[in-house]
Structure 1
């Protein structure tokens, strides 16, 4: 019985493949549309799109073009070909702004750009582009059923930019380029004042100021110690119970000793 079942399944699969190939080779665009829609509804997006790609140009300007363009775009999205789905859905909205699918298409276009955004450590260009696209959707459809999701996407994308800027500043600290680290953390705090990484940024800026101060020549040391202690106060004012409290207090005590020693030498 098992052998018989396998044989029957094999026959069905072969017939299915054979039918698909026949439609692919056919000159009948209506047949291709029908078969493509059938495959789309079955979730066979790769095969459906192979047919859609053949007939999309031929249906341009026809009544069926709107639905065809939507299915074509959705196939790219389902296949995780986000660069293409972002572009195709964008074109759909431009071509059919009054379509009942326009809002969904606009959201999926924006989400496609979001999906194309790389991890924070990569180039930020695609992330910036994705933020622009999602924000455009929110502005165009402020009361959309997708608005909440879109706002979540913007927050995630914004955090990628924050994380990248933070890690760059922290990396300068790790490689002992304390001036660059301080400058980068100052820019970070100006650019992202409400960041969830603010506590970390304030501590590592103070850490960089500390290291720059203790490594300074005597004539620059007092001024840099003062800057470092000012950063210590800023950290404690913003986060009185900071997770870095023990480390920060140790650095503060070391700075005060360093200042006293420098005064004696002077």
Structure 2
């Protein structure tokens, strides 16, 4: 064996194979924050959702009452009506974001994204713009499917979460977006690993190598990186590239010396040591 390679340390617990996706922890706060903008005054509450002309405060608080009662679809319709009937009022701005939130709670993600994007297009510098961007990210994030399915939504979630962090790094939503982004990356890496294992199982070593290399290069901080390097070692050996296999195993040993995957890679390379003798 070369000097690059060393025996693994005493086995430690294996890295977590995945992390559970978290639900939005900040749901209640934005509602209170946005609703508080309405002040404590204003007209009488009414549960009526019929599209009849009403003064703006009555209409807004009717929508808020519906939301508080869990009638989120009716609430969204009434918040939309605030903007329709009173488009130039201060209440219309508040209603736009409350409508987006109501659609989100109703799991009408398409409508929530549309309403949030509308809010951002009209009020890009508003103090609630970070939340509108975060709400878009949540809508994509909560639609993420398992790793066996198409990952288009997962990529959209990644883009939206990255946008929150990029545009509003000092906001209260950036840290939670970073946590979710880590989970999204782990999910995407898991998809690549699943495909790579499938190719490996069917003897398509070159195709599997490309998948595992993608994880090793693009998802280095995820829980899948150690296994990806081990699978790379396997695949390179299978296609007759022992030097590339040694490199992958060496990177694995340098970055994850106590992992079960390095132990396996070390044993595999020891078994193949004769192949390296010139």
Could you state the TM-score of these two structures normalised by the residue count of structure 1? 0.72
Name the CA distance, whole Å, in 1 between partners of 2:250 and 2:90: 68
For 2:183 and 2:49, the matched residues in 1 are separated by: 42
Flag the structure with higher helix content: 1
1:179–1:29 CA distance, 2 compared to 1 (3 A):
same
Match of 2:259 among 242, 252, 263: 242
2:71 match? 44
Q: Does 1:91 align with 2:118?
A: yes
The 8 Å contact of residues 40 and 71 in structure 1, kept in 2 or not, is answered as no
- Match of 1:134, SS? helix
Alignment of 1:73 with 2:100, yes or no, is yes
What's 1:15 paired with? Answer: none
Deviates more, 1:110-119 or 1:72-81: 110-119
Report what 2:52 is aligned to. 27
Q: 1:158 aligns with which of 185, 207, 228?
A: 185
Q: For residue 232 of structure 2, what is the aligned residue in structure 1?
A: 205
Name which of structure 1's ranges 229-238 and 80-89 shifts more when overlaid on structure 2. 229-238
Q: CA deviation at 1:229?
A: 5.1
User: What's the offset of the Cα at 1:199?
Assistant: 1.5
Gaps of 5+ in 2: 1-45
Check the 8 A contact 2:185/2:222 in 1, yes or no: no
Distance 1:90 1:81 in 2: 14
Q: Which SS does the other structure have where 1:116 is aligned? A: coil
Q: Alignment partner of 2:165: what SS?
A: helix
Tell me the SS of whatever aligns to 1:64: helix
Checking the alignment, whether the CA contact within 8 Å between 2:249 and 2:262 is kept in structure 1 is no
Instruction: Number of aligned residue pairs: give it.
Output: 231
Q: Which has the larger radius of gyration?
A: 1
Q: Which has the higher contact order (CA 8 A, sep 6+)?
A: 2
Change (3 A) 1:177 1:65: same
Deviations 1:162-205 (CA, angstroms, capped at 9, x unpaired): 22122221221112212221232223322233433221112112
Taking only aligned residues, the RMSD between alpha carbons, in angstroms, comes to 3.0
Q: Deviations over 1:12-48 (max 9, x none)?
A: xxxxxxx85xx34463343654432322233321222
Residue from 151, 154, 173 that aligns with 2:200: 173
Gaps of at least 5 residues in structure 1 are 1-18, 214-223
Partner of 2:90: helix, strand, or coil? coil
The alpha carbon displacement at 1:100 in A equals 4.1
1:33–1:208 distance in 2 versus 1, CA, 3 Å: same
Q: Tell me the TM-score normalised to structure 2 length.
A: 0.69
CA separation of 1:226 and 1:45: change in aligned 2, threshold 3 A: closer
Partner of 2:36: none
Give the 3-state SS of the residue equivalent to 1:120 in structure 2: coil
Does the 8 Å contact 2:147/2:194 carry over to 1?
Answer: no
